[in-house]
Amino acid sequence: MYELLSSPVDYGGLTLKNRIIFSPTTLGVPEDEQVERLARIAAGGCAMIIIGDVPVGKHGFGPSLFTQKGFAHYQRLIEAIHAHGCKVCAQLHQSDSDLSAMLKCVPGMLTHRLGPDDLRKRLNDAVGPYITGLSERKVEAITASFGEAAERAVAAGFDLVQVHGDRMCGSFSSAVFNHRTDRYGGSAENRARFAVEAVAAIRRKLPELPIDYKLAVRQEDPHYGNAGVLVEELPVFVPLLEEAGVTSFHITLANHSDLSDTIPPAKHPAFGAEGCFLPFCDRVRALTKKPICAVGGLTDPDFIEEQLKAGRMDCAAMSRQLIADPEWPNKVFDGRAGEIHRCVRCNKECLGGMMAHRGVHCIYERKVSQ
């Protein structure tokens, strides 16, 4: 019944056993719980799990590929996921948060004068001045570090890497934040240079490695997203990224605005529908023959199968749905789709849990425990 959804696919040089991918998600839970939950999602039948926010630098937020402890952490995750025949991708990430701006927020956070939304807004406001003021020498060192991190990722056992096209890549791409007047700013070609150099650094180090790119798209009329690439700029960015070495695209809305835009609830004014970011996929599909992964409110197997048949996407990425029901793929492929715990996109325990620093969970977990 779900012939395309259950079929293998060549995802930029890596064969996936089906078309379901767990999209990069910061779960915000202790390591043992993270391993257990990702192993459960892998056992549920998805083809690949993307580990989000793997720092490219030797010093950054989250476990580092360059320390013994961090390297062992990723090896442990990979082993637990591979045990279920599931591939693992490292989302290589460079933060665009200004450390000095963060330090200024510490007193307000400690006294609870600043909540999570306040902190996010202040850090987002600091992005433009921070990336605009980075020296060319520093920028070149950061883009080169993507290649070094990819080598470490492969050594740890990752099957492919994804360049996080939001955060610093997305901020350099966006005229909202990037006000540079050198070769990294101004025209769309120049604003694409940071991302292109990051991808090229990986390709030089690892000529055969599949490189996925999280392509963060910004739209106007109405305005959503601040980082990333304007829809009208895709004809510039997509060919340049392909030429640099990208083998597949993971397409979503650009970040640095309300989290409820990039993780939209069912009642979102613009992105409340199933497959809410698919129009961005359509624009990219017209520009490339590389595999495309869609994300955003994908829960219904019938809908997903229809979009695969229509050629709008080659894979479907889910986060909230696989958190709500890790067994979604197995249930669909075994003819038990009626048993799925369908994500209702309420954002109560997933986005709400993340913002309250208690970890990403689901209302279904609470119902089971009651």
Q: What is the pLDDT of residue 368?
A: 45
pLDDT surpassing 50 at residue 66? yes
**Confidence band of 370 (pLDDT split at 50, 70, 90):** very low
Averaged confidence pLDDT in the chain: 92
User: How far apart (Å, rounded) are the C-alpha atoms in residues 158 and 164?
Assistant: 16
pLDDT tens column, 145-179: 999 999 999 999 999 999 999 989 999 999 999 99
Q: What is the pLDDT of residue 10?
A: 98
Q: What is the pLDDT of residue 185?
A: 98
pLDDT surpassing 60 at residue 110? no
pLDDT tens column, 277-287: 999 999 999 99
Q: What's the average model confidence in pLDDT over 6-31?
A: 96
Q: How many CB atoms lie within 10 A of CB 237?
A: 25
Q: Which amino acid is at 65?
A: L
Q: What is the pLDDT of residue 111?
A: 64
> Which listed CATH number (1.10.760.10, 1.10.3210.10, 3.40.50.300, 3.20.20.70) goes with 9-343?
3.20.20.70
Would residue 167 show up in a list of annotated catalytic residues for this protein? Answer: yes
Residue in 19, 37, 152, 167 annotated catalytic: 167
pLDDT surpassing 80 at residue 320? yes
User: How far apart (Å, rounded) are the C-alpha atoms in residues 261 and 265?
Assistant: 8
**Confidence band of 99 (pLDDT split at 50, 70, 90):** low
- Burial of 185 per CB tally in 10 Å (0-12, 13-18, 19+): middle
The pLDDT > 90 percentage for the chain reads 82
Q: What is the pLDDT of residue 115?
A: 61
Contact 66, 152 (CB under 8 A): yes
- Burial of 76 per CB tally in 10 Å (0-12, 13-18, 19+): middle
E strands present in the chain: 9-11, 14-16, 20-22, 48-55, 87-93, 160-163, 211-218, 229-230, 248-253, 292-295, 315-318
pLDDT tens column, 170-195: 999 999 999 999 999 999 999 999 99
pLDDT surpassing 80 at residue 288? yes
Q: What is the pLDDT of residue 98?
A: 57
Angle at 244 between CA 242 and CA 249, to 5 degrees: 40
Q: What is the pLDDT of residue 62?
A: 81
Please state the domain extents for the chain: 9-343
pLDDT surpassing 50 at residue 128? yes
**Confidence band of 364 (pLDDT split at 50, 70, 90):** confident
Structure pTM?
Answer: 0.93
Q: Closest Cα partner for 37 from 358, 326, 364?
A: 326
Q: In the numeric block, which tokens belong to residue 191?
A: 């604003």
pLDDT surpassing 90 at residue 118? no
